[in-house]
């Protein structure tokens, strides 16, 4: 099925459940007709993805796209499929897929960064050339990243916040962080090891920083907006539907603001939550030690 000029083509990763699924549901409600918007439901597991489409009532404009965001070969295959089936064009890419660490080991950190940072970096490298003029790339980050950055040493904060930061430099910071877990040097490097979600938080620090770099480097020619967004602490499998969490529907609204708001209401490369620009570094306002932990996406 080839897209036409009138169709809006939106890809949502990690969309078979949780906040990603709610984003797809809301995109469906926004569509005036099945010809208005084509929604690509990105999912690692084809059966789970098909189950999600069935749950939506099998609408004609929602299509399953197998995409494991931690696999470069899967990302390349999905890119080829978009080129073959949907004219090789996207209006909006929503990088929603994400996981939390099951423990505090270097292996767990590598797994988290493969999805939450490196995977999104590779997806955006493959798919940014397909984004249409005035399109959007929305990287789903977290205010946990802002809290994590706030608790770092000033020297480390300055590295992540640098306006001249490059992707190679973020990669080096990430690699240093993972090796610091193995060598037990995280305190020496400037990280707050008492922070309960440190691995997840640092992955989101890296993603927010990556968003700024992508905005600086890619947005010019086609007026593409590249934004990071926090959906808020929502009740999903990611946190085992933790106490005090808000609904996944509200999280989806926060993401879709970045995808839908008029361009003049948004600042390229910035971090948003619930329609408002947020600081990339801020003090934590939750008791994270009481939150449940679960590794799922």
Tens of pLDDT, residues 258-294: 999 999 999 999 999 999 999 999 998 877 665 544 4
- Angle of helix 154-161 relative to helix 198-218, nearest 10 degrees, comes to 30
Neighbours of 32 (CB within 10 A): 7
Domains and CATH numbers, the chain: 8-101+118-143+204-290 (3.40.50.720)
Average the pLDDT over 177-194 and give the result. Answer: 97
Residue 155 burial (CB < 10 Å; 0-12/13-18/19+)?
Answer: exposed
Q: Which helix (H) or strand (E) holds 206?
A: helix 198-218
Over residues 134-152, mean pLDDT: 96
76-94 per-position pLDDT tens digit? 999 999 999 999 999 999 9
Average pLDDT over residues 124-152: 96
Closest CA to 11 of 82, 98, 84: 82
C-alpha–C-alpha distance, residues 78 and 93, integer Å: 13
Indicate the SS3 state at residue 11: strand
3 state DSSP class of 62: strand
What gap in Å lies between CA 212 and CA 18, rounded to an integer? 26
CA–CA separation, 98 vs 115, rounded Å?
Answer: 6
How far from chain centre, in Å, is Cα 190?
25
Tokens of 12: 């949502």
Which value, in Å, is the radius of gyration of the alpha carbons in the chain?
A: 18
Given a contact cutoff of 8 angstroms between Cβ atoms, the answer to whether 146 and 285 are in contact is: no
pTM of the complete model: 0.92
Average pLDDT for the chain: 90
**Predicted local confidence at residue 34, as pLDDT:** 61
Spatial distance between the Cα atoms of 31 and 207, rounded to a whole number of angstroms: 30
Active site residues: 200
């Amino acid at each position: 099925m080839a897209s036409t000029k009138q169709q809006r083509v939106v890809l949502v990763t990690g969309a078979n459940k949780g906040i990603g699924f709610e984003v797809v549901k809301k995109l469906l409600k926004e569509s005036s007709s099945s010809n208005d918007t084509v929604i690509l439901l990105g999912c690692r597991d084809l059966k789970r993805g098909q189950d999600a489409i069935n749950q939506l009532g099998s609408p004609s404009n929602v299509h399953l796209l197998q995409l494991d965001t931690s696999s470069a070969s899967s990302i390349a295959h999905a890119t080829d499929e978009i080129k073959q089936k949907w004219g090789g064009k996207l209006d909006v890419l929503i990088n929603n897929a994400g996981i939390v660490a099951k423990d505090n080991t270097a292996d767990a950190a590598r797994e988290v960064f493969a999805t939450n940072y490196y995977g999104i970096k590779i997806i955006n490298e493959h798919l940014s050339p397909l984004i249409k003029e005035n399109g959007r790339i929305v990287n789903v980050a977290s205010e946990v990243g802002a809290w994590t950055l706030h608790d770092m040493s000033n020297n480390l904060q300055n590295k992540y916040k640098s306006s001249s930061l490059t992707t190679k430099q973020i990669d080096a910071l990430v690699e240093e962080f993972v090796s610091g877990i193995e060598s037990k040097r995280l305190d020496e490097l400037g990280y707050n090891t008492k922070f309960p979600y440190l691995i997840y938080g640092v992955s989101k620090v890296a993603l927010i920083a990556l968003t700024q770099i992508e905005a600086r480097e890619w947005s010019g020619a086609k007026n593409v907006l590249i934004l990071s967004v926090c959906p808020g602490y929502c009740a999903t499998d990611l946190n085992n539907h933790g106490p005090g969490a808000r609904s996944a529907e509200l999280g989806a609204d926060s993401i879709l603001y970045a995808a839908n708001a008029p361009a003049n209401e948004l600042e390229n490369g910035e971090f948003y939550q619930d329609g408002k620009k947020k600081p990339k570094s801020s003090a934590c306002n939750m008791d994270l030690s009481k939150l449940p932990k679960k590794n799922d996406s």
